[in-house]
Structure 1
């Protein structure tokens, strides 16, 4: 970022979080392509959004103030990807839902003046939450950062400014519908349409809130902590009531739908409530049987695996009660250990003699790969 981020937002370096939010909303209204027809309006809005991504986050802002740069913040990348407790943002009604789309919805909302018709209740929104298998096993609290139309803090979501109040809509006289008459050669034709001034409510606002323009909601960056229950499945959803898009002028807000995405594990593979793992054993352990120990899904958990006598390669050994914790239950699934019998590539002379003796006792033919020189040395020894 070549430009000073504070300069892009039009605030001082000592600006409070609230001042940064207000400055962003003010500048975004001026630069959004829906209202600004300048050739570079889209680029300026993108630059403004990138600056807000940094200055609205305490950690990124501190790093920027110290070093003057934010790795990964520029270039249009996802400012929330790749850890730090953040998540991928996915709009359930069509991907790529960002602050630009939030402002498009804001400009289409109903305010104090004439605006197009729009639903009053807020829409549901969605995010995809990345989780590790260990987090699913133990449960986790994850912070989600996303953009939404939130209740206006200046008017508490009412849309009313100082001395503001609701009045009967002057265009439809409180009916919510406007009747027009068209004169034709067949006679007068009447048609009724939803009033664009009040959006069909029959009420409008005098002296609307200047911050939200009478909508009762403003574009904002929301942070919410999600408690992930133990044992949740991949693609399972959690619903956070009231954390979706805020409604117009205090109408009901939508919900935030969190879709859990469980990342592949380097050692375990999940199958419902069961876990599958692999373990290497020697030919001696496979032949005689053995007790081995492998890591469990919990930190510092050790799982004792009884290898039966005569165990074959790819044989599966079941260990009860060491799988994944079951959803909303204290019980656990089982662990299935897939055995891999490892044959040594090299053996010592003594080991070879013992194996040859074993082969002779079992009546098995084995290849004699010793050179004549080795055989001569063996004869002298």
Structure 2
């Protein structure tokens, strides 16, 4: 791909508009898709075409390519979906993993041979978006780029050409089904099947739109901004009405189902609306008590954890109101700090003397005989 001009791959000029790039891609994809093109290298050519469209359909990637002549994301960064970490899921039979699958569905909807009834309503589609725990706390607006069958821009989704019109199917007289009679030795046998001409709709289009071949929808790359509310939990779903698969010839479109997945955080662990963290506390502060300041879940937020006098290892200290925000509420959960009392591995001579004096005052026996001569000599020099 790096040795080929992406504009030549799509067959457009370098000053082509976004609409011209989309139209050129659709026309070339129809010619090269393996479902219709049986050439041995059709699949490779289609992938090449799709990679070119990935770059030229994105304003930022196209600008970089025009300036430097390189393909953004060629080494694995970014990719065709704008750098947003998304997973495609087949929710309700309507998810898609790429433009190749979209075209396969498009060709199937256009042909629908064998008397099979055509589904006119668009299906729901599903994508999974990954965010950080901090983004889940603050709420984010994410732009999702995905492939779908979208309303045809040339006919506004009607499927009609310039002089097109929808008429009653002459094959079935608008019933959507045809009755055939078979003469057998047992007598005449009647059977009703889906009309092969209108595929069960009861109508056909005279002079269909050449861009969508009368479907009213075309494969396209869609961009949509998704408002992720603060406090959302892992696995919760957001429904965006009308952004799934477009319906045929103006039929209702499906919805886009966005499943939000939250990546693990390095410091906090979530439990419902509460947060848990591990806090290392020096043994003196644990014994005497102290106020320790840590970073909260929000940027620039500081949380004071009050360590009680005589705090024990693995003790849990609760700080109210510093957990995750509750969904659709101004309230927050709590923060639980799990204390890990830190015992120093090395002591100065003065520190050891103080601890030995403390042990004596508390009536504790300290075995000094186990200390090596080298350790004792180091204490003398210190």
Q: TM-score, normalised by structure 1?
A: 0.93
Residues 357 and 203 of structure 1: CA distance in aligned 2, closer, same or farther (over 3 Å): same
Partner residue in 2 for 1:70: 71
- Could you tell which deviates more after superposition, 89-98 or 114-123? 89-98
Partner residue in 2 for 1:337: 337
Q: Does the 8 Å contact 2:124/2:244 carry over to 1?
A: yes
Q: Does the 8 Å contact 1:313/1:341 carry over to 2?
A: yes
Q: Does the 8 Å contact 1:139/1:229 carry over to 2?
A: yes
Residues 140 and 59 of structure 1: CA distance in aligned 2, closer, same or farther (over 3 Å): same
- For 1:14 and 1:86, locate their aligned partners in 2 and report how far apart those are by CA, in whole Å: 31
| Deviation of the 1:98 alpha carbon | 1.2
1:302-354 Cα shifts (integer Å, max 9, x gaps): 11111011111111101111000001111100000011111111111111110
- For 1:189 and 1:14, locate their aligned partners in 2 and report how far apart those are by CA, in whole Å: 64
Residues 366 and 288 of structure 1: CA distance in aligned 2, closer, same or farther (over 3 Å): same
1:36-92 Cα shifts (integer Å, max 9, x gaps): 1111111111111111111111111112222222243478x98246x7445333332
Residues 378 and 270 of structure 1: CA distance in aligned 2, closer, same or farther (over 3 Å): closer
Partner residue in 1 for 2:229: 229
Alignment of 1:190-229 (within 5 A): 190-229=190-229
Residues 330 and 29 of structure 1: CA distance in aligned 2, closer, same or farther (over 3 Å): same
| Deviation of the 1:175 alpha carbon | 1.4
Partner residue in 2 for 1:18: 19
Q: Does the 8 Å contact 1:244/1:254 carry over to 2?
A: yes
Partner residue in 2 for 1:172: 172
Partner residue in 1 for 2:150: 150
| Deviation of the 1:4 alpha carbon | 1.5
Residues 296 and 78 of structure 1: CA distance in aligned 2, closer, same or farther (over 3 Å): closer
| 1:318 matched to 2:318 | yes
- For 1:284 and 1:267, locate their aligned partners in 2 and report how far apart those are by CA, in whole Å: 24
- For 2:95 and 2:151, locate their aligned partners in 1 and report how far apart those are by CA, in whole Å: 24
Q: Does the 8 Å contact 1:279/1:339 carry over to 2?
A: yes
Structure 2 gaps of 5+ residues are none
1:187-215 Cα shifts (integer Å, max 9, x gaps): 22111111122121211000100000000
Structure 1 gaps of 5+ residues are none
Partner residue in 2 for 1:274: 274
- For 2:65 and 2:331, locate their aligned partners in 1 and report how far apart those are by CA, in whole Å: 47
| Deviation of the 1:374 alpha carbon | 7.2
Alignment of 1:34-49 (within 5 A): 34-49=35-50
Alignment of 1:126-145 (within 5 A): 126-145=126-145
- Could you tell which deviates more after superposition, 6-15 or 366-375? 366-375
Q: Does the 8 Å contact 1:112/1:208 carry over to 2?
A: no
Q: TM-score, normalised by structure 2?
A: 0.93
- For 2:94 and 2:338, locate their aligned partners in 1 and report how far apart those are by CA, in whole Å: 42
Q: Does the 8 Å contact 1:114/1:197 carry over to 2?
A: no
**Once superposed, what is the RMSD of the aligned Cα atoms?**
2.4
Residues 138 and 380 of structure 1: CA distance in aligned 2, closer, same or farther (over 3 Å): closer
Partner residue in 2 for 1:87: 86
1:224-245 Cα shifts (integer Å, max 9, x gaps): 0000111111000000000000
- For 1:74 and 1:113, locate their aligned partners in 2 and report how far apart those are by CA, in whole Å: 42
Q: Does the 8 Å contact 1:9/1:27 carry over to 2?
A: yes
Q: Does the 8 Å contact 1:80/1:88 carry over to 2?
A: no
| Deviation of the 1:104 alpha carbon | 0.9
Runs of 4+ in 1 over 3 A off after TM superposition: 71-75, 83-86, 93-96, 110-116, 369-381
Q: Does the 8 Å contact 1:240/1:256 carry over to 2?
A: yes
| Deviation of the 1:380 alpha carbon | 11
- For 1:35 and 1:284, locate their aligned partners in 2 and report how far apart those are by CA, in whole Å: 76
